[in-house]
Amino acid sequence: MDLNNPAHRQAIEVRLNQLRQTVPQIATHQTLCEGSVGDNLVQCKNAYQCFDGYDLEDVGYAIETNSLKNCYDMTVCFKTEESYQCVHCSGNYGLKFSIHCDGCSESEFCAYSKNLRNCFGCVYLQDKQFYILNQPYSEADYYAKVAEIKQELIEAGQYNLLPFFVSDYEQERLLNETDPAINP
């Protein structure tokens, strides 16, 4: 068949549609999964709306992820636990609203950083602890200042990533979440 010929391509499409009517098609591809919804999943438990994932447990809305536990809204993240709304992050614990962060814990709104501990709103930092907007704080001052900033953000309705969601569905889903820290 000449695939440059539109009539031949149409004949192939007609035959393919006929086959689809008579041959079962796999709706999802899951291997060793339990209680999961999504496609291309392997060894997952309680993964909801996850795609192209491996070794996920109690994870929702994840794409191209491996070895996540108790995470939500993750894209291209690996070996991460207790994290929320992260993109291109690996080896993290308790990371929120961050992009391109590796080996970080208990940090929020960080980008392009590595090995941060208890940092808030930091970019391009490495091996730092108790920083806010790239400025160092004592441990006690850090927790007090972060609580103050979060309260201001919550009151202003800005302690979320709504401006970055392009679909009405994603905006509505986040608005209806029950976590008061995310949506008071």
- What is the model's pLDDT at position 166? 52
pLDDT at 181 over 60: no
- What tens digit of pLDDT does each residue of 13-72 get? 999 999 988 988 777 899 999 999 999 999 999 999 999 999 999 999 999 999 999 999
pTM over 0.85: no
Q: How far apart are CA 63 and CA 74, in angstroms?
A: 6
pLDDT one-digit tens code per residue, 125-158: 999 999 999 999 999 999 999 999 989 988 887 7
Per domain, the residue ranges of the chain are 40-159
CA 184/CA 170 separation, integer angstroms: 17
